[in-house]
A and B are shown apart, each in its own frame.
Chain A
Amino acid sequence: QVTLKESGPALVKPTQTLTLTCTFSGFSLTTSGMRVSWIRQPPGKALEWLARIDWDDDKFYNTSLKTRLTISKDISKNQVVLTMTNMDPVDTATYYCARNRWGHWFDPWGQGTLVTVSS
């Protein structure tokens, strides 16, 4: 059974850097074809894709946020880490990680973690 779970701070201050961790089980990011994405959803708003990391360490970013995002993986811990710099109140959202299937769809998703940006 594949599961993913997000963790990180619930509250960050403006201008701070956010670090989120996705801990997964049921698959390995050393296996050819495996990928993990981060997606966020501001309260009451639509989903927005942020970044993806592949088994071969290829990385892809939302072009609008690319300068602020870094995605990485820790194979030994089965974790994917997302950092976002210079946080702003508009970045307040529920952040999800999801396994990225080969046909470019997301399944399953983690439960999400709500991050509020406020001073």
Chain B
Amino acid sequence: QSALTQPASVSGSPGQSITISCTGTSSDVGGYNYVSWYQQHPGKAPKVMIFEVSNRPSGVSNRFSGSKSGNTASLTISGLQAEDEADYYCSSYTSSSSYVFGTGTKVTVL
């Protein structure tokens, strides 16, 4: 199972919106609405930001939103804030009854 493809880095100024893509195949992202997104600050454990493509867990800011089209899922952060600077990973359930993560995206707030 190959890792899902994410851009290595994305940057934006405070207040701007950015979008991170996550490209897989019909055996993972395209085949199921089980895409989730995780935020990871340096030295910390990942934290879920979006589950089942577009759902936000309780306590996660509504500045985070998710979507999917075909084999590509996306995470959008609106009103970018300094605290959003972190690594972001997507994950998908797969047809092999397993899970695959993305390659990771470093978000920089300029």
Contacts and interface: CB of A to CB of B under 8 A. Distances in A.
Interface string A33-54: 0000101000001111100100
Contacts, number: 68
Name the residue among A49, A101, A111 with the largest chain B CB count within 10 angstroms: A49
B48 A106 contact: yes
A32 to B, nearest CB: 18
A118 B47 CA distance: 30
Contact of A109 (B34, B46, B100): B46
B45 A110 contact: yes
B36 interface: yes
Contacts of A52: 99
Size band of the A side of the interface? Answer: 20 to 34
B1 A63 contact: yes
Name the residue among A61, A105, A107 with the largest chain B CB count within 10 angstroms: A105
B98 A106 contact: no
B24 interface: no
B102 A63 contact: no
12 contacts: A46-B103, A46-B104, A49-B98, A49-B101, A60-B97, A62-B98, A63-B98, A96-B46, A104-B93, A105-B34, A105-B52, A109-B47
Interface of A: 37, 39, 45-49, 52, 60-64, 96, 101, 103-112
